[in-house]
């Protein structure tokens, strides 16, 4: 009995690769497994190779895996592209004239079984040519002895509107798959251990971010479509109206942030979501939110840059722009959830931070985290409490008894009580110009100094609940990996492997708050160790960030990947080994 399975379906875009993958993933989820997935696709609508990768384990797993146990090929490219990562004794399912089973070897000499099946013909015979992928799913499921009922009940759900005939032909297709396996390759069946029962969700980083935002009271999102962020807008445009909120797809990304700033100014928890090109366009208005002290959440789902770059590929290369972008100097907070559950919690926290500190909060996702689904423990609604900061009620505003409310009142903590437009006695001025306490333009040098200090100091100690994740033995480890975003799972697994192989004694910090960098907390952990950042960009932006705060220059380096794909454990391990051998 096995407790892990790696599965992939590949084919041409528009051929149902996505839905086939998603269905198999959900089947495994419903069976009780922890599932991580990764979709690869191209910047076109039809055609071009795409694939959907799944790794399922009976314990929590954060990474969709390097290898493949079952490979479902809907086109020729699939096998060519992925043959080299097949695990030993993998099964490859492919279309062919007649059913046959052959054994082949990977370039590295691992044996695998090629199961050729006339899927199209069988589906046609079943009276439903569309059901060919279902046969293949049946084969897949039967190879690990998943209960057929799960697939069958999904089929009932998915095709509920299509009628009994479609349901039945699809069910038969699955059954046929089971039969084909039993008939031809029963020696390959390797049953999955029954997992223990868990309360978990199968959700993408985008969905978790959107869900967390909604739960934190966000009621307005204005944005412009862009891969890989569109899903956030799409999910919220479905769900927000149910709670009295709304999504606006506006004319461009500048409007995206400006609408959200306006809505936030009027008292709503508001956000905008985008990816690189949109983030760059928002750069000017980001500064407006900063100086005018309007809370705002900006989700940046990173993709391959620069410019239009690689719009459907993974990258983590907007770090510096998020921290330093916009002219002049503003208060800001930059977060970067490590996992999908962190995306939920940090999205929620970002609204708190935005309102408590009255400043823009940027939440960095990356394509890997944004678009791929994983199984996560159901979220804890008690973990993040809603905190609206110094937002005043109508009654509180009245007590100030001012004709023109001092919106930018100087206070000890730099944060000013905030009335809302519409409140009696709360009439106030908000401004992108340098202003005095009343919000009116001021060019007075002394006022300027006060206002700059107010704004830039107030966020200095802002801190999210978990500014970074630490693992490994900080006292004894001689190498410290530092990462952010969706590399979490790969780094964890790489360390496990490296430690097991006895290559290094490694520890791991995964940063979740990039700005203000929690340097006081990090500093003791950085002492004395070899530091290796693992990041999906060319310049080693995380490394540059760390160097700015800590003089680690002679013992720090980075492992980078910027080809549009996520790291594999294999490639991290390889690069670490090279790094180490080179040092000796």
Partner 1 sequence: MATLKDLRGDQPTWCPGCGHFSIMAGIQKSIIQLGYEPHDFAIISGIGCSGKVSEYVRTNGFHTIHGRSVPVAQGVKMGNPDLKVIASGGDGDGYGIGLGHFVHAARRNIDMSYIVMDNNIYGLTKGQTSPRSEHGFVTKTTKGGNKEYPVDPVSTSIANGATFVAQAFAGDIKQMTEIIEKAIEHKGFSHVNIYSPCVTFNKINTYEFYKERLTKFDEPFDTREEALSAVRAHDGLVTGILYNEKRDDYQEKLGIDFDMQSCVSGDMDEELFHKFKKQFQ
Ligand X SMILES: Cc1ncc(C[n+]2csc(CCOP(=O)(O)OP(=O)(O)O)c2C)c(N)n1
- Residues in region 207-226 near partner 1 by CB under 8 A: 207, 211, 214-217, 219-220, 222, 224-226
- Residues in region 31-50 near partner 1 by CB under 8 A: 43-48
Q: What is the C-alpha separation between 265 and 270, in angstroms, rounded?
A: 9
Residue matched to tokens 């490694």: 506
Between residues 71 and 226, which has the closer beta carbon with respect to ligand X? 226
CA atoms 77, 83, 86, 92: torsion sign: positive
Which range binds a copy of itself by CB under 8 A, 9-17, 58-66, 287-295, 417-425?
A: 287-295
Q: Does position 309 bind ligand X by CB under 6 A?
A: no
Q: CB of 228: closest distance to ligand X in angstroms?
A: 10
Of the residues 32, 225, 267, 309, which one makes contact with ligand X according to CB under 6 A: 225
Identify whether the C-beta of residue 135 lies closer than 8 Å to the C-beta of residue 173.
yes
Q: CB of 232: closest distance to a copy of itself in angstroms?
A: 17
Residue 434 interacts with, from partner 1, ligand X, a copy of itself, none (CB under 5-8 Å by kind): a copy of itself
Which range binds a copy of itself by CB under 8 A, 62-70, 174-182, 320-328, 473-481?
A: 320-328
- Residues in region 317-376 near partner 1 by CB under 8 A: 348
Residues 260-279, one symbol each (x = binds a copy of itself by CB under 8 A, - = not), give: ---------------xxx-x
- Closest residue by Cα to residue 409 from 442, 387, 446, 435: 435
- Nearest residue (beta carbon) to ligand X: 277
Between residues 36 and 275, which has the closer beta carbon with respect to a copy of itself? 275
The residues near 161 (Cβ < 8 Å, ≥ 6 apart) are none
User: Would residue 277 be called left, alpha or beta, if left means φ above 0 and alpha means ψ between -120 and 50 degrees?
Assistant: alpha
What interhelical angle do 205-215 and 230-239 show, nearest 10?
40
Between residues 398 and 577, which has the closer beta carbon with respect to partner 1? 398
Between residues 312 and 568, which has the closer beta carbon with respect to ligand X? 312
Q: Does position 540 bind ligand X by CB under 6 A?
A: no
The residues near 551 (Cβ < 8 Å, ≥ 6 apart) are none
Q: Does position 281 bind ligand X by CB under 6 A?
A: yes
Of the residues 157, 412, 500, 554, which one makes contact with a copy of itself according to CB under 8 A: 554
- Order of strands across the sheet that contains 111-117: 100-105, 111-117, 86-95, 68-73, 4-12, 49-57, 34-40, 373-377, 200-204
Residue 499 interacts with, from ligand X, partner 1, a copy of itself, none (CB under 5-8 Å by kind): none
User: Would residue 335 be called left, alpha or beta, if left means φ above 0 and alpha means ψ between -120 and 50 degrees?
Assistant: beta
Residue 538 interacts with, from a copy of itself, ligand X, partner 1, none (CB under 5-8 Å by kind): a copy of itself
> Which tokens is 558 given?
């980075």
Q: What is the C-alpha separation between 344 and 165, in angstroms, rounded?
A: 40
Q: What is the C-alpha separation between 185 and 339, in angstroms, rounded?
A: 38
Q: Does position 306 bind partner 1 by CB under 8 A?
A: no
Of the residues 183, 378, 548, 578, which one makes contact with a copy of itself according to CB under 8 A: 548
CA 9 to chain CA centroid, Å, is 21
Question: Which one-letter DSSP state was computed for residue 577?
Answer: H
Point out which residues bind a copy of itself (CB under 8 A). Answer: 42-43, 275-277, 279-281, 283-284, 286-288, 290-292, 302, 304-313, 315, 317-318, 320-321, 323-330, 431-434, 441, 443, 445-446, 448-449, 452, 456, 537-539, 544, 547-554, 562-565
């Amino acid at each position: 009995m096995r407790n892990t399975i790696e599965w992939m379906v590949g084919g041409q875009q528009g051929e149902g690769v996505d839905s086939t993958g998603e269905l198999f993933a959900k089947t495994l989820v419903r069976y009780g497994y922890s599932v991580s997935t990764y979709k690869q696709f191209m910047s076109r609508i039809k055609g071009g190779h795409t694939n959907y990768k799944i790794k399922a384990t009976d314990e929590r797993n954060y990474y969709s895996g390097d290898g493949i146990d079952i490979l479902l090929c809907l086109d020729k490219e699939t096998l060519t592209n992925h043959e080299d990562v097949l695990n030993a004794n993998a099964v490859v399912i492919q279309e062919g004239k007649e059913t046959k089973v052959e054994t082949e070897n990977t370039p590295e000499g691992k044996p695998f079984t090629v199961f050729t099946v006339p899927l199209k013909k069988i589906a046609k015979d079943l009276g439903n040519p569309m059901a060919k992928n279902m046969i293949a799913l049946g084969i897949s499921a039967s190879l690990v002895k998943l209960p057929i009922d799960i697939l069958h009940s999904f089929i009932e759900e998915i095709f509920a509107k299509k009628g009994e005939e479609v349901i039945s032909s699809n069910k038969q297709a699955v059954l046929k798959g089971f039969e084909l396996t039993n008939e031809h390759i029963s020696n390959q069946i390797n049953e999955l251990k029954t997992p223990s029962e868990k309360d978990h969700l199968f959700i993408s980083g985008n969905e978790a971010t959107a869900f967390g935002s909604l739960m934190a009271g966000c009621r307005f999102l204005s944005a412009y479509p862009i891969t890989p962020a569109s899903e956030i807008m799409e999910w919220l445009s479905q769900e927000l109206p149910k709670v009295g909120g709304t999504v606006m797809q506006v004319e461009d990304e500048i409007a995206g942030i400006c609408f959200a700033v306006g809505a936030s100014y009027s008292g709503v928890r508001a956000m905008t979501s985008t990816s690189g090109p949109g983030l760059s366009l928002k750069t000017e208005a980001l500064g407006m939110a900063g100086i005018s002290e309007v809370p705002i959440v900006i989700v940046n789902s990173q993709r391959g840059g620069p410019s239009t770059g690689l719009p459907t590929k993974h990258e983590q290369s907007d770090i510096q722009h998020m921290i330093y972008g916009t002219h002049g100097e503003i208060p800001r907070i930059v977060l970067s959830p490590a996992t999908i559950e962190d995306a939920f919690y940090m999205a929620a926290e970002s609204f708190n931070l935005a309102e408590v500190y009255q400043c823009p909060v940027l939440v960095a996702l990356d394509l890997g985290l944004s678009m791929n689904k994983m199984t996560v423990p159901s979220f804890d609604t008690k973990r993040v409490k809603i905190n609206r900061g110094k937002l005043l009620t109508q009654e509180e505003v009245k007590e100030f008894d001012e004709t023109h409310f001092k919106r930018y009142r100087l206070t000890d903590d730099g944060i000013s009580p905030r009335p809302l437009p519409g409140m009696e006695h709360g009439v106030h001025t908000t401004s992108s110009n340098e202003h005095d306490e009343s919000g009116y333009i001021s060019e007075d040098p002394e006022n300027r100094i006060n206002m700059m200090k107010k704004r830039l100091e107030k966020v200095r100690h802002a801190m999210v609940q978990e500014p970074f994740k630490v693992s490994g033995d900080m006292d004894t480890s001689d190498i410290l990996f530092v990462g952010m975003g969706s590399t979490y799972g790969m780094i964890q697994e790489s360390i496990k492997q490296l430690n097991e192989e006895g290559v290094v004694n490694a520890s791991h910090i995964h940063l979740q708050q990039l700005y203000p960098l929690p340097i006081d907390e990090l500093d003791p952990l950085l002492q004395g160790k070899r530091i290796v950042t693992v990041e999906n960009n060319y310049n080693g932006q995380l490394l540059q960030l760390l160097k700015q705060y800590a003089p680690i220059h002679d013992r720090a380096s980075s492992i980078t990947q910027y080809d549009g794909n996520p790291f594999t454990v294999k490639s991290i391990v390889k690069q670490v080994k090279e790094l180490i051998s080179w040092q000796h």
